[in-house]
Amino acid sequence: MASEAHEDSYYAASANDHPDYPGLDGDTGAQVCVIGGGYTGLSAALNLAERGFSVVVLEARRVGWGASGRNGGQICTGYSSGNEKIETWLGRDDARKLFELSEEGKAIIRERVARHGIDCDLTWGYFHGAGKRRQLNDLRADRESLARDYGYPHTRLVENPQEVGEFIETPAYLGGLYDSGAGHLHPLNYCLGLARAAVAAGVRIFEGTAALAIEKGVKVRVRTPRGQVSADFLVLAGNAYLDRLEPEVQSKIMPVGTYIAATEPLEENRAESLIKNDIAVADCNFVLNYFRLSRDRRLLFGGRVSYSALMPPNLPNAMRRKMLQVFPSLADVRFDYTWGGFVAITMERTPHLGRLGGNIYFAQGFSGQGVAFTGVAGKILAEAIAGQAGRLDLLARLPHTTFPGGRLFRTPTLALAMLWFRLRDML
């Protein structure tokens, strides 16, 4: 039986019915052991089971307990780093291949929701709001490059506040970019659906079963509180919650706290006047705000970050101030839920995939793009374990810098760096 409930959030309160998976009690074996019951681990497990592998998933708490069950639910285009940086690292041709991988991640979501009947409110349409002329110019350049260099035709530039009103009713944006190829979903329900699909394919999931130590070798052994798993291959999919289990991997990511508030349900006409056609929205700041409507017409408003393990003080008030900057008309609306959790970022803001030795694989550091990219990441890990490592090797060519300062000093170092980006957002 799982050891604890999901984090108190709107997502947990509106989750579909789902089973409790048992804890591991005793020793067992499989061809592949996956550590982490979120999008990445479940995607890898599902892909591997569909290829005929026997798979065990170890989840320390509940399926979807971490970022996969708490995030903003936004399905974004491309990478947080931007395509231009990837071109400087890998060249235009390989940058195009990586962009195609990110698009494959979206297609995987569509296909899985349809094939497995996952009820997760999947909706398409996304608006990037520009609050400054500089940001609008950047969006214009992005649109031209996406169409010209990457064959992506799904965007429309919005160049004045009157046109903004076709998408969102706010004084905060002077223009923006509409992307019909991006969208949003209920993140926890999507994750729970992946777990059901994986179990149906033969995967064994153990909840409330933390991985305590890894013994490397021809056979990998993972020790848990009440047993161990022996496997030919190991997949590390704990991301921001991997902690100290594998220091070589953990040093390349930084867990960053991010937060969401859910309003009380809004009257239908009021909700639809705020955000048109049920699209998702984000601004263009480095430390961005992102928001959308839920199925029951709540505004789900995300923003604010922190670099410690502590919940920010007066979080509801801070989130309310941010929300009213975008929607001053909601001054009379209360929050029913506020919650947070950790995502993992890399220094370069690109996903970090690779292997340790011959039989340990990992995927992490999705840097805000995890809803879309984790699906294809799991597929790529499964390909590599099955002997087809070309796409993993391409991703492994991306540079990933170790965060400076070690465990003790890297958080304040990053906080100072982020202060610079906050100041830039204000200009």
Residue by residue, DSSP assigns 67-99 as GGGTS--EE-SS-TT-HHHHHHHH-HHHHHHHH
State the chain's mean pLDDT as an integer: 93
Which of 162, 141, 134, 408 lies closest to 283 in space, CA to CA?
134
- Evaluate if residue 416 carries a pLDDT over 90: no
Residues 6+ apart with CB under 8 A from 326: 170, 172, 283, 289, 291, 301
410 pLDDT band, cuts 50/70/90, is: low
| pLDDT tens-digit series, residues 241-258 | 988 899 989 999 999 999
Q: Is the pLDDT of residue 288 over 60?
A: yes
Tokens of residue 240, six digits: 């921001």
Is residue 279 within 8 Å of 127, Cβ to Cβ? Answer: yes
At residue 371's C-alpha, the angle toward residues 220 and 364, to 5°, is 35
pLDDT of residue 305: 82
Distance of alpha carbon 352 from alpha carbon 349, whole angstroms: 9
Give the pLDDT of residue 243.
80
Q: What is the pLDDT of residue 406?
A: 57
**Half-sphere exposure of residue 130: CA atoms within 13 angstroms, side-chain side:** 21
What's the pLDDT at 313?
78
Res. 296 pLDDT band, cuts 50 70 90: very high
pLDDT digit string, tens, across residues 105-133: 999 999 999 999 999 999 999 999 999 99
pLDDT confidence band for 304 (50 / 70 / 90): confident
Q: At what angle do helices 39-50 and 370-385 cross, to 10 degrees?
A: 40
Among 34-38, 308-312, 346-350, the range scoring the smallest mean pLDDT is 308-312
Residue 422 has pLDDT above 90, yes or no: no
Q: What is the rounded (10 degree) CA torsion for 339, 110, 189, 78? A: -20
| CB-based contact 112:197 (threshold 8 Å) | yes
Q: In this prediction, what percent of the chain has a pLDDT beyond 70?
A: 93
**161 burial type by CB count under 10 A (0-12 exposed, 13-18 middle, 19+ buried):** middle
Mean pLDDT for the stretch of residues 211-227: 97
Long-range CB contacts for residues 131-140, cutoff 8 Å, separation at least 24:
131/172, 131/173, 131/174, 131/283, 131/284, 131/285, 132/174, 132/284, 132/427, 133/174, 134/427, 135/284, 136/174, 136/175, 136/176, 138/284, 139/175, 139/176, 139/177, 139/284
For residue 417, pLDDT over 50 is answered with no
At 53-70, the pLDDT tens digits run 999 999 999 999 999 999
Tell me the pLDDT band of 423, cut-offs 50, 70 and 90. Answer: very low
Q: What angle do CA 370, 202, 216 make, to 5 degrees?
A: 70
| Range name among 31-45, 327-341, 387-401, 408-422 with the lowest pLDDT average | 408-422
pLDDT digits (tens, 9 = 90+) for 164-176: 999 999 999 999 9
Q: Residue 411 has what pLDDT?
A: 54
Mean pLDDT of the region 90-99: 98
Question: Tokens representing 2?
Answer: 């799982």
What pLDDT is stored for residue 408 in this prediction? 52
Q: Does residue 73 carry a pLDDT above 80?
A: yes
